[in-house]
Chain A
Amino acid sequence: MKSRFINWFALANPSSFYPVAGRLIPWFWLLAVVFGVAGLWISFFVAPTDATQGEGYRIIFVHVPASWMSMVIYIVMACWAGLGLALNARLSGMMAQALAPTGALMAFLSLWTGALWGKPMWGAWWVWDARLTSELILLFLYLGFIALQAAIDDPRRADKAGAVLALVGVVNVPIIYFSVKWWNTLHQGASVSVTRAPSMAHTMLWGMLLMALAFWMYAIAVALMRVRAIMLEREAQSAWARELREVVA
């Protein structure tokens, strides 16, 4: 009897996930391009010039989605890590490993675009604002995760050690955020703040949402591509990997 539900556990097997991911990747790329083009069009041509910040504010259409993604990816990574520890599934560790570089990239992009935005707006490349500082620490957490996985040769141990680190990190992220926030208010008083964003025009919000969707799709597409590469790397000796068309050719 065929079950009405998709058998999710079957997908946890690399040999069955590999072709599924391969079929999904073009779709995510397509969506990323569509959303990206629409978002960029709105953000460059439709969204009005900001009254106080001029044209320079347009970098937030990259900056805000990148910041969101850097946080979301860490949480998703920690979820995969927890799943991997609980169910001892191979795929979970591979997914966490595949997500980490994209997350680090997003955190870096967020800091970089933030600096580009900060120079004309605040007159400084860097201020010790709570958000900037906690984003920087998030980048360090990503780098630590990547470094730990890279330092352990046995992939199964690397997965599990990385999973414990990701879970410890995800507990700490809110603590770090609030500690930096309180530290900041104590030291700086009422300084510049990104939080006091004036009410946004609707078109700006749409532009940002579309860009965020584009970043989502990009992140999924890239993570799936990377997880496929990781699968081939780790399972190069297994029968299913040897029979793949792209491997045989």
Chain B
Amino acid sequence: MSALVAIIRRDLLLAMRRKADVLTALFFFVIVTSLFPLGIGPEPTLLRKIAPGVLWVGALLATMLGLQRMFAADHADGTLEQMALSPQPLVLLVAGKNIAHWMVAGLPLVILAPLLGLQFDLDAESLGVLTLGLLIGTPVLSLIGSVGAALTLGVRGGGALLSLLVLPLYVPTLIFGAGAVHAHASGQGAGGHLSLLGALLALSLFFAPWATTAALRIALE
């Protein structure tokens, strides 16, 4: 447990020392979502309809931006090999890195989303559902993404390849996340969608760190 906390602290500290990386992804999210009304037009009913989809796709892409950094620097300077050799189970360290990545890349998106949702004229309850959905869904994005990041570690053209691998796997999260807001708006209630998002989170929390560990060991061979 102390190893888990230690690695989270370490990754957060590293992220805080290179704030530009974190902020770039965050501003990317803001800019991308602001571009849609400019491209589509300012009609409030239309904006209200596309808001969940736009914000979720923006969150997906913004998470993608930081994924490669999850292991790349540690791989380059040999830290990752030391972690693999350490007496602590690697899967625990991987989980720690995932949590840290989410706190740096996912949590700010969750906090910013209601503000951006206001630009799309969403009402308070829809904003709540959207934020709750993102809160449950963004950890899934970090967890699934870490598998892709580990698989493409040190591979030619890693960035583009990573999006090709990971984005198709993000589809269910996107559907249930954006679907929750739509379901709420149509009066069905968001409970079902949010429960399914929770199920996705439970599944990926259980399986993804193992898959990432396997992929890391392959990359370190």
Contact = CB atoms under 8 A, between A and B. Distances in A.
B168 A144 contact: yes
A161 B183 contact: no
Contact of A147 (B147, B164, B211): B164
A63 B31 CA distance: 42
A11 interface: no
B169 interface: yes
B164 A144 contact: yes
A171 interface: yes
A164 B152 contact: no
Contacts of B196: 179
Contacts of B207: 171
Interface stretch (A14-22, A116-124, A135-143, A204-212): A135-143
A161 B158 CA distance: 13
A186 B184 CA distance: 12
A80 to B, nearest CB: 16
Contact of A148 (B161, B168, B188, B221): B161
A141 B156 CA distance: 19
Contact of A160 (B182, B188, B203, B218): B218
Interface stretch (B3-11, B22-30, B172-180): B172-180
Most chain A CB atoms below 10 A, which of B156, B172, B176, B214:
B172
A140 B218 CA distance: 23
A164 B211 CA distance: 7
Contact of B175 (A143, A151, A152, A182): A182
Contact of A157 (B169, B172, B183, B219): B219
A166 to B, nearest CB: 11
Interface in B140-178: 147, 151-152, 155-158, 161, 164-165, 167-169, 171-172, 175-176
B171 A164 contact: no
A186 B155 contact: no
B151 A164 contact: yes
A168 interface: yes
Contacts of B211: 164, 167-168
B200 interface: yes
A59 B175 CA distance: 31
Contacts of B161: 144, 147-148, 151
Given A151-B155, A172-B169, A179 B164 contact: no
- Counting contact residues on chain B (CB < 8 A from A), the size range is 20 to 34
B171 A137 contact: yes
A164 B214 contact: yes
A175 B172 contact: yes
A176 interface: yes
Nearest to B183: A186
B164 A143 contact: yes
Given A144-B168, A147-B161, A179-B172, A186 B182 contact: yes
A240 interface: no
Given A164-B215, A186-B183, A148 B151 contact: yes
Contacts of B188: 186
B218 A179 contact: no
A143 B165 CA distance: 8
Contact of A165 (B151, B167, B176): B151
Interface string A146-163: 011001110011001100
Contacts of A175: 172, 200, 203
A60 interface: no
Nearest to B163: A144
Contacts of A140: 164, 167-168
B95 to A, nearest CB: 17
A148 B165 contact: yes
B81 to A, nearest CB: 15
Nearest to A160: B218
Given A151-B155, A183-B179, 6 more contacts: A144-B168, A157-B221, A161-B218, A164-B214, A176-B168, A186-B182
15 contacts: A137-B168, A137-B171, A147-B161, A147-B164, A151-B152, A161-B215, A164-B215, A164-B218, A168-B169, A168-B211, A175-B172, A179-B175, A180-B175, A182-B175, A183-B175
